[in-house]
């Protein structure tokens, strides 16, 4: 049994192979968090709290005498606003118009075989019968009929524990959720380093490690996507934790919209981490009888350092989060026409590229942006999902048939969540754009976000994409999203529900992608968001690969891909060989090096194969062959970081080793030579 409840001690113990997690219901019915770390027995770890009268840390209403008992420093499992806890909270809820206040106490628990699911949300699932146990703990406000259920999915062999929460309003009045996060995690001692991944467009997921200071440190996105700027993943580890040694805790949020991860080092040098939905623009109305379910977060712990922690996340996400039938299959090697032609193509040009690519052994042509409406640049036509026959004479089906007859598969780009003010759709439905009534909305890349809190808009988007896919043999879709939310308002939604727009949008994206995959079950979906702004576990539930970054410079990619692989399997990292000088940074890198680096991901080309120098073109066939040969190893092997160019500024080195240790790929990239050094 991975989950046990000791009725005498009121102790929940969650065991995985290499970790133990413990909670205790104390004499007041408060759910304490007492332990998470190296495997331990069922000792009651609440003795570690060491109660003391901490100056001006108050007591809850039902405890007036014992001044050592305070929510202000006790380690709590799901901290809420309103009970005298002044640290960061997971939940701020209360009756409409009132200051949020709750005081949660234990009611009951349930233990189940298998994994709980979360309606409409991505979540880890049981891949092998018997590998997961679910624990649900229900708490209730001491006064009001407001219930909170905490969900735990214990993946014993994977060393992963998932968490989520639901908030149920059984009172007769409206409840407002000001913040509804997925988890709180309290550490009683807190001299820890934080590892996180910051970035920008064309420079996502840069590794940063620093000692966590007192006060609140926040990693978040309020852009409506998980974003280029931060990834919903952090690691807390000991100061001396290395790749192979030391405590490391990973927290990963399985969601594709805005998020918030806060860590607070408090007055007693403990650390609290809370993680969940972004709450900057969030205000959710919970009418009587309604329940709000948070997205899921996954926790993993290793006492053997960062490599083991990465491996645990990579393996769990591969096996228990990605559902696509493509996940263990060799992915088609592709040529994408974006950096080859941008908007300047026609059917003839595309067929020339496809023909040359077919001769070189590539499997698929991906037609990127610019094939619909009047889109010859990025100023128009998002929303007008009908084929531009001036560019593609004879229509899409004819092009796809011709590409197929060359022995190539065909894939296509969409940006379904958007609308250009200069489009047929906007002329007909200006109110379908997210906007604040009477205020002229700002623009990003000349476009606005569609209001997916409206059912008719969801239906329009679905039919737009599906009807194109029904027209021809399209086997791959690149689903893009190139704009953060601004001017957040909906002309349809009630005034007291406007704070729900961003979360409703993400739920609608999940619904749309889920429906699409139901109608086209073998579709290979690649998510993308102006490069890597939605490189998150939520997307992996729908697409087995995600475009990693618009920065296709191979050397820059070393850092981006390496940080990405701290949690995500290589099989999901969209990586292409692009032309030189590189379009983003202008660097010239040998074609061979570009090929090798793109192989640590889903391999493809993003250049005009008909135009590149002959000596480069001559290398493509053997690169494709090499990738196809090693694809199973890259997708399923164990990944080891050996040397990081980010740290040493001269070279990069990593290795991928098969399960049986009989086969390995060893990659060494000398970025710049060092004079008068030993050869390495």
Instruction: List residues with catalytic annotation.
Output: 480, 550
CB of 367 to ligand GLA, least distance (A): 10
| Distance in angstroms (rounded) separating the CA atoms of residues 260 and 271 | 16
Q: In angstroms, how far is CA 150 from the centroid of its own chain?
A: 21
Q: Which is nearer to ligand GLA, 293 or 448 (CB)?
A: 448
CB of 300 to ligand GLA, least distance (A): 29
* Cβ–Cβ < 8 Å for 531, 548: yes
Of 11-19, 524-532, 613-621, 639-647: span binding ligand GLA (CB under 6 A)? 524-532
Q: Tell me the number of residues near ligand GLA by CB under 6 A.
A: 11
Nearest to 426, CA basis, from 484, 383, 458:
383
Q: Residues 388-407 vs ligand GLA: string with x where CB under 6 A?
A: --------------------
Q: Which is nearer to ligand GLA, 167 or 528 (CB)?
A: 528
CB of 660 to ligand GLA, least distance (A): 37
CB of 311 to ligand GLA, least distance (A): 29
Q: Which is nearer to ligand GLA, 506 or 530 (CB)?
A: 530
Q: Is 528 in the site for ligand GLA (CB under 6 A)?
A: yes
Nearest to 174, CA basis, from 453, 422, 628, 497:
497
Please name the helix (run of DSSP H) or strand (run of DSSP E) that holds residue 463, with its range, or none: helix 455-471
Q: Residues 288-327 vs ligand GLA: string with x where CB under 6 A?
A: ----------------------------------------
Q: Which two tokens stand for residue 328?
A: 């263990």
CB of 202 to ligand GLA, least distance (A): 9
Give DSSP secondary structure letters for 70-99: -TTTS-BSS-BTTSS--S--SEEEEETTS-
Of 495-503, 526-534, 613-621, 652-660: span binding ligand GLA (CB under 6 A)? 526-534
Omega before 78 cis (within 30°)?
no
Please name the helix (run of DSSP H) or strand (run of DSSP E) that holds residue 482, with its range, or none: none
Of 43-51, 69-77, 357-365, 527-535: span binding ligand GLA (CB under 6 A)? 527-535
The position carrying tokens 């040969």 is: 629
Of 46-54, 57-65, 108-116, 528-536: span binding ligand GLA (CB under 6 A)? 528-536
Q: Which is nearer to ligand GLA, 528 or 559 (CB)?
A: 528
Q: What are phi and psi of 470, to 5 degrees?
A: -75, -20
CB of 484 to ligand GLA, least distance (A): 13
Q: Residues 452-481 vs ligand GLA: string with x where CB under 6 A?
A: ----------------------------x-
The contacts of residue 613 (CB under 8 Å, 6+ apart) are none
Q: How many CB atoms neighbour CB 679 within 10 A?
A: 3
Q: Is 531 in the site for ligand GLA (CB under 6 A)?
A: yes
* Cβ–Cβ < 8 Å for 413, 480: yes
Q: Is 551 in the site for ligand GLA (CB under 6 A)?
A: no
Q: Residues 642-671 vs ligand GLA: string with x where CB under 6 A?
A: ------------------------------
Phi/psi-derived region of residue 348, left when phi > 0, alpha when psi is between -120 and 50, beta in every other case: alpha
Q: Is 530 in the site for ligand GLA (CB under 6 A)?
A: yes
CB of 478 to ligand GLA, least distance (A): 6
Separation in Å, CA 569 to CA 304, 536, 540, 669: 19, 12, 10, 21
CB of 668 to ligand GLA, least distance (A): 29
Near ligand GLA by CB under 6 A: residue from 417, 550, 551, 556: 550
The position carrying tokens 């074609």 is: 591
CB of 577 to ligand GLA, least distance (A): 14
| Distance in angstroms (rounded) separating the CA atoms of residues 600 and 575 | 7
* Interactions with ligand GLA, residue window 329-368 (CB under 6 A): 338, 368
Separation in Å, CA 591 to CA 120, 156, 455, 621: 44, 44, 48, 13
CB of 379 to ligand GLA, least distance (A): 12
Please name the helix (run of DSSP H) or strand (run of DSSP E) that holds residue 219, with its range, or none: strand 215-221
Q: Which residue is nearest to ligand GLA (CB)?
A: 369
The contacts of residue 494 (CB under 8 Å, 6+ apart) are none
Q: Which is nearer to ligand GLA, 25 or 528 (CB)?
A: 528
Nearest to 530, CA basis, from 576, 484, 586:
484
Q: Which is nearer to ligand GLA, 89 or 483 (CB)?
A: 483
Q: What HEC string does 498-557 produce?
A: HHHHHHHHHHHHHHHHHHHHHHCCCCEEEECECCECCCCHHHHCCCCEEECCCCCCHHHH
* Interactions with ligand GLA, residue window 479-498 (CB under 6 A): 480, 482
Of 115-123, 140-148, 296-304, 523-531: span binding ligand GLA (CB under 6 A)? 523-531
Q: Which is nearer to ligand GLA, 188 or 528 (CB)?
A: 528
Residues at the site binding ligand GLA, with contacts judged by CB under 6 A: 338, 368-369, 413, 480, 482, 528, 530-531, 547, 550
């Amino acid at each position: 049994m991975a989950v046990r409840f000791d009725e005498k001690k009121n102790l929940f113990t969650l065991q995985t192979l290499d970790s133990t997690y413990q909670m205790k219901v104390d004499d007041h019915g408060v759910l304490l968090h007492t332990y998470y770390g190296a495997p331990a027995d069922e000792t009651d770890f609440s003795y570690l709290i060491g109660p003391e009268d901490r100056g001006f840390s108050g007591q809850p209403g039902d405890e007036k005498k014992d001044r050592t008992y305070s929510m202000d420093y006790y380690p709590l499992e799901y901290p809420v606003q309103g009970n005298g806890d002044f640290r960061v909270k997971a939940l701020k809820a209360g009756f409409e118009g009132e200051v949020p206040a709750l005081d949660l106490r234990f009611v009951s628990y349930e233990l189940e075989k298998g994994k709980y699911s979360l309606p409409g949300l991505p979540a880890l699932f049981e891949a092998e019968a018997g590998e997961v146990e679910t624990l649900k703990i229900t708490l209730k406000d001491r006064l009001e009929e407001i219930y909170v259920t905490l969900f735990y999915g214990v993946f014993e062999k994977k060393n992963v524990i998932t968490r989520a929460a639901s908030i149920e309003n059984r009172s007769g009045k409206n409840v407002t959720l000001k913040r509804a996060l997925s988890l709180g995690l309290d550490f009683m001692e807190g001299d820890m380093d934080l590892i996180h991944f910051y970035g920008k467009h064309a420079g996502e997921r840069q590794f940063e490690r620093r000692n966590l200071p007192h006060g609140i440190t926040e990693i978040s996105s309020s852009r409506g996507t998980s974003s280029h700027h931060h990834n919903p993943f952090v690691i807390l580890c000991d100061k001396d934790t290395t790749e192979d040694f030391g405590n490391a805790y990973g927290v990963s949020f399985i969601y594709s919209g805005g998020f918030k991860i806060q860590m607070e080092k408090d007055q007693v040098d403990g650390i609290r981490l809370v993680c969940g939905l972004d709450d900057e623009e969030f205000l959710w109305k919970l009418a009587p009888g309604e329940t709000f379910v948070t997205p899921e977060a996954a926790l993993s712990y290793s006492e053997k350092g960062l490599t083991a922690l990465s491996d645990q996340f990579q393996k769990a996400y591969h096996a228990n989060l990605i559902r696509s039938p493509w996940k263990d299959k060799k992915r088609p090697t592709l040529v994408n026409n974006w950096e080859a032609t941008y908007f300047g193509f026609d059917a003839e040009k595309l067929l020339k590229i496809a023909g040359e690519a077919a001769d070189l052994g590539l499997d698929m042509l991906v037609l990127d942006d610019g094939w619909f409406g009047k889109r010859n640049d990025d100023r128009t036509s998002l929303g007008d999902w009908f084929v531009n026959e001036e560019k593609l004479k004879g229509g899409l089906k004819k092009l796809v048939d011709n590409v197929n007859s060359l022995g190539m598969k065909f894939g296509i780009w969409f940006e379904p969540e958007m609308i250009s003010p200069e489009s047929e759709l906007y002329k007909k439905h200006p109110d379908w754009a997210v906007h604040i009534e009477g205020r002229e909305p700002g623009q990003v890349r000349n476009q606005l976000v569609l209001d997916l809190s409206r059912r008719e808009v969801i239906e329009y988007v679905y039919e737009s994409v599906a009807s194109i896919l029904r027209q021809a043999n399209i086997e791959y879709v690149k689903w893009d999203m190139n704009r953060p939310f601004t001017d957040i308002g909906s002309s349809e939604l009630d005034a007291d529900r406007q704070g729900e727009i961003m979360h409703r949008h993400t739920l609608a994206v999940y619904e749309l992608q889920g429906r699409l995959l139901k109608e086209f079950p073998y579709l290979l979906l690649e998510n993308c968001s102006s490069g890597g702004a939605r490189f998150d576990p939520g997307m992996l539930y729908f697409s087995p690969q995600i475009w990693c970054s618009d920065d296709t410079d191979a050397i820059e990619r070393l850092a981006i891909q390496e940080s990405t692989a701290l949690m995500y399997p290589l099989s999901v990292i969209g990586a292409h060989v692009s032309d030189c000088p590189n379009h983003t940074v202008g660097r010239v890198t040998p074609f061979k090096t570009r090929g090798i680096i793109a192989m640590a991901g889903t391999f493809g080309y993003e250049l005009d194969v008909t135009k590149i120098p002959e000596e480069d073109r001559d290398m493509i066939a053997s690169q494709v062959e090499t990738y196809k040969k090693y694809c199973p190893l890259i997708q399923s092997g164990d990944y080891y970081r050996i040397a990081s160019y980010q740290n040493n500024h001269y070279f990069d080195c990593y290795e991928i080793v098969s399960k049986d240790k009989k086969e390995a790929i060893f990659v060494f990239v000398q970025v710049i030579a060092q004079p008068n050094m030993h050869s390495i």
